[in-house]
Amino acid sequence: MNIAIERSGAIAIVQVDNPPVNALSREVRSGLIAAVQTLDADPSVQAVLLTCAGRTFIAGADVNEFGKPPQAPHLPEVIAAIEQAAKPWAAAIHGSALGGGLEVALACRFRVALANAQLGVPEVNLGLVPGAGGCVRLPRLVGARKAAEMVVKGSPIKAPAALDVGLVDAVFENDLQQNALTWLSAVVEQPLPAPVLQRSVAGAALSSEEWEQVAKALLPRDKRLQAPAMALECVKRACEAPVAEAQAFERETFLSLRGSAQARALRHVFFAERGATRPPEIKGVDTKEIQLAGVVGGGTMGAGIAMALRDAGINVVLMERDAESLQRGLDRISTTYQSSVKRGRISAETAEARIAGVRGVTDYTGLAEVDLVIEAVFEDLQVKRDVFAQLSAVCRLDAILATNTSYLDPAAIAHGVVAPERFIGLHFFSPAQIMKLLEIVPTAQTSMQTLATSFALAAKLRKIPVRAGICDGFIGNRILRVLRAQAERVLLAGATPSQVDAAMRAYGMPMGPFEAQDLGGLDIAAFQRKAAKERGEEVFAPVAEQLCEMGRLGQKTNGGWYDYEPGERKAIESAVVADVIAKVSADVAKQAWTEQDIIDCLVLPMVNEAALILQEGIAQRSADVDLVEIHGYGFPRWRGGLLQDAVERGVGEVVERLRHFAAVGMTPEPCQKLLAVAETGTF
Ligand code: NAI
């Protein structure tokens, strides 16, 4: 039984016990309704305290029921039963009261919480709105503005803040059940407040201008995201329409969003992220504790990686080639932390402690005791091999040795490493202390323990780890190369850089491919192309090559794919670039490009490349490719990632469109894997 009933004098204690997070499974829902009936029928019961066993209050819906046909009793029935019970219920909240969990608490006459508890309605993150009265009841306790903020943003608030806004009635430091019982015994002797639904909205009503301001402040810039705007509309109705109408509107909105493509996409990402840190292949493998880590190279990446480690509480030894470079690296770290303090992200004490946890050295002996070392020196095979030869000589034999290389072959870097089973690629993305993606790249010799420890490290750093096989660019940069080549093909065939960038923004990318190159610098890709050419690989970047030769490297040189006024970021269409494109494409047939054609001609070859990556075993699962795109490249989360979006569109149609472009030489023919998926419908 998930629901137990105990007694403490005239108060009945209803305890939900559904590990791990007391999710609102069908059994819990029906158990709660049964408890209402039992206790209403018991004349000796004066009031009911709703508590949860384990580490949290009801933390939300049961994720195992996501995407499946809902089963009765539905949550609104549970909520109505509790709210209309003859005996007043009080929720005693510890851990998290989230989503449906908070809606259950809102059905109670009272709410009390432990000081470290959090309360929220995060449904928007799954493309939904609260569907069991959350939007209607919240403003009756906390007022229109706060309710709008909680529902539209989806971020939980802590118990003391909840007390301030009227969401809870009392907060206790400890001993929740005992304190709650004492508190409840006293308040039930007083006149009872009305059930939340029967109260009027707290605070002053908002004028239509004020609602517009609220919308402006809260809604995301990307207007294609459906749930936040609908969530706001639900709260607005709750404040302005009769209760029954507001409830019906909320439920209808919830039901229609639940079946939407965006909710499917966001659910897909939710499950992909949830599973990312423990893929089935490392199940049961022992991991090693990482307490002290070394980082070799204090440049852009090394400094970022050092901060990512410090943010997770791991002490760092930062190794540089000389005192001057070391100082630059350490300065980079302190400057970044200090600017976080200025922005109010961390306190000055925290920054100080994080900085103090980095010890700088210029001698390899300083790395003798580390549990793991991550190399982030220049992207040069010989330089990296020399580093690993030194590390092999000084580090403990069981220390993990990792490279952050972007394009070199980790197996080639590992050549000569002592105990190569502890060697692995850990590919961070820039800025490493912020970007969530971590590509984990084992070589053929990497042990399972090294692999599993790398996943555990990622979890500790709060990164999203994705296992990648060895190939040029691993998963993410290999797909990026296709995007860039396609973007140039489209230019040669008559589109302009700004048309291409606008189309990709319209698709949902934060930036178009040319804007992104101008921001990052065209020299990075040029360097990679040079290496690829040296390996005898074909590269396609005729315009970019010309621009690099002309010294047009992007914003930093006041010109790249666009022109820039010195010190300005505004991209100006460039006559010089148009000239280069015209010359390079003299013998290419031109066509008129619609936005959709541009999107298809860029995105669908990326889908095809991703399918090839799966076909070759470079990625293990299609969801991994989706995580790479979302967390490494800003792919819109609401599309669910590159491959989820292709599935949503229909892979048959993707294949058809690719064939259409392939016929005119704009894209490759669809690969075997993609053709197979077109038959089955899933990757
Ligand atoms: P960077 O040029 O900013 O930093 C390299 C640092 O390594 C310099 O501070 C240099 O003094 C130091 N260094 C060079 N040789 C050394 C040695 N023998 N011993 C100790 N320190 C030495 O380069 P960045 O951008 O940080 O890249 C480092 C690595 O990370 C490269 O392999 C790169 O491909 C990879 N990477 C870069 C990304 C980026 O966006 N910049 C993204 C992901 C990976």
In this prediction, residues 152-168 reach a mean pLDDT of: 98
488 catalytic? Reply is no
Is residue 620 within 8 Å of 467, Cβ to Cβ?
Answer: yes
Q: With a cut of 80, say whether residue 531 has pLDDT above it.
A: yes
| Per-residue pLDDT, 22 | 97
Residue whose CA lies nearest to ligand 1 atom number 30: 376
CATH superfamily of 290-467: NAD(P)-binding Rossmann-like Domain (3.40.50.720)
d(CA 631, CA 428): 11
pLDDT digits (tens, 9 = 90+) for 469-517: 999 999 999 999 999 999 999 999 999 999 999 999 999 999 999 999 9
Residue 325 CA, closest ligand 1 atom number:
11
Q: With a cut of 80, say whether residue 1 has pLDDT above it.
A: no
Rounded to the nearest angstrom, the distance between the alpha carbon of 109 and the centre of ligand 1 is 59
The third-level CATH classification (topology) of the domain covering 476-680 is N-(1-d-carboxylethyl)-l-norvaline Dehydrogenase; domain 2 (1.10.1040)
Is residue 637 within 8 Å of 630, Cβ to Cβ?
Answer: yes
Rounded to the nearest angstrom, the distance between the alpha carbon of 118 and the centre of ligand 1 is 41
Rounded to the nearest angstrom, the distance between the alpha carbon of 299 and the centre of ligand 1 is 5
| Per-domain boundaries in the chain | 3-259, 290-467, 476-680
d(CA 574, CA 564): 9
In this prediction, residues 666-671 reach a mean pLDDT of: 95
In this prediction, residues 392-401 reach a mean pLDDT of: 97
Strand ranges (E), 604-665: none
Q: With a cut of 90, say whether residue 537 has pLDDT above it.
A: no
User: Token digits for 191?
Assistant: 């006149």
3-state SS assignment for residue 90 = strand
d(CA 531, CA 654): 32
Starting at the edge strand found earlier in the chain, the sheet holding 157-158 runs 96-98, 118-120, 157-158
Rounded to the nearest angstrom, the distance between the alpha carbon of 385 and the centre of ligand 1 is 14
Closest CA to 403 of 522, 630, 420, 312: 420
Closest CA to 395 of 413, 412, 417: 417
Q: With a cut of 80, say whether residue 639 has pLDDT above it.
A: yes
Q: With a cut of 90, say whether residue 604 has pLDDT above it.
A: yes
Rounded to the nearest angstrom, the distance between the alpha carbon of 413 and the centre of ligand 1 is 15
Starting at the edge strand found earlier in the chain, the sheet holding 400-403 runs 358-361, 315-319, 292-296, 372-375, 400-403, 423-428, 437-442, 464-467
Residue 386 CA, closest ligand 1 atom number:
18
In this prediction, residues 332-346 reach a mean pLDDT of: 97
**CA distances in angstroms from 225 to 185, 264, 554, listed in the order given:** 46, 13, 31
**CA distances in angstroms from 495 to 67, 486, 487, 582, 664, listed in the order given:** 41, 12, 9, 11, 16
In this prediction, residues 362-366 reach a mean pLDDT of: 97
Q: Are 3-259 and 476-680 the same fold in CATH?
A: no
* Mean pLDDT rounded to a whole number for the chain: 96
d(CA 512, CA 520): 12
Residue 304 CA, closest ligand 1 atom number:
26
With a Cβ cut-off of 6 Å, ligand 1 is lined by 296-302, 319-321, 325, 329, 376-379, 383, 387, 404-406, 428-430
Question: How many residues does this entry show for the chain?
Answer: 683
Residue whose CA lies nearest to ligand 1 atom number 19: 321
Pick the CATH number of 3-259 from 3.70.10.10, 3.90.226.10, 3.40.50.300, 3.40.50.11540: 3.90.226.10
Could you say which of 83, 103, 375, 545 is catalytic?
Answer: 103
Strand ranges (E), 342-467: 358-361, 372-375, 400-403, 423-428, 437-442, 464-467
Give the list of residues 6+ apart from residue 547 with CB closer than 8 angstroms, or none.
Answer: 522, 553, 560, 561, 577, 580
Residue whose CA lies nearest to ligand 1 atom number 36: 406
Ligand 1, from 295, 296, 300, 327: best to mutate by most atoms within 8 Å of Cβ? 300
| Per-residue pLDDT, 222 | 87
In this prediction, residues 132-146 reach a mean pLDDT of: 98
Q: Within the chain, how many helices (H) and strands (E) appear? A: 28, 17
Rounded to the nearest angstrom, the distance between the alpha carbon of 357 and the centre of ligand 1 is 21
In this prediction, residues 92-116 reach a mean pLDDT of: 98
Could you say which of 27, 65, 83, 123 is catalytic?
Answer: 123
The letter for the amino acid at 187 is V
User: Token digits for 73?
Assistant: 């009793």
pLDDT digits (tens, 9 = 90+) for 192-242: 999 999 999 999 999 999 999 999 999 998 889 999 999 999 999 999 999
pLDDT digits (tens, 9 = 90+) for 287-313: 999 999 999 999 999 999 999 999 999
In this prediction, residues 513-536 reach a mean pLDDT of: 90
123 catalytic? Reply is yes
Q: With a cut of 80, say whether residue 149 has pLDDT above it.
A: yes
Q: With a cut of 90, say whether residue 440 has pLDDT above it.
A: yes
In this prediction, residues 419-437 reach a mean pLDDT of: 98
Closest CA to 645 of 663, 630, 631, 667: 630
Ligand 1, from 330, 364, 377, 472: best to mutate by most atoms within 8 Å of Cβ? 377
The share of the chain scoring above pLDDT 70, in percent, equals 100
**CA distances in angstroms from 147 to 52, 120, 130, 165, listed in the order given:** 25, 10, 12, 10
Ligand 1, from 295, 301, 435: best to mutate by most atoms within 8 Å of Cβ? 301
Closest CA to 302 of 246, 361, 349: 361
In this prediction, residues 562-586 reach a mean pLDDT of: 95
Give the list of residues 6+ apart from residue 341 with CB closer than 8 angstroms, or none.
Answer: 347, 348, 351
Query: What letter does residue 401 receive in the DSSP assignment?
Result: E
Q: With a cut of 80, say whether residue 463 has pLDDT above it.
A: yes
DSSP string, 450-513: HHHHHHHHHHHTT-EEEEB-SSTTTTHHHHHHHHHHHHHHHHHTT--HHHHHHHHHHHT-SS-H
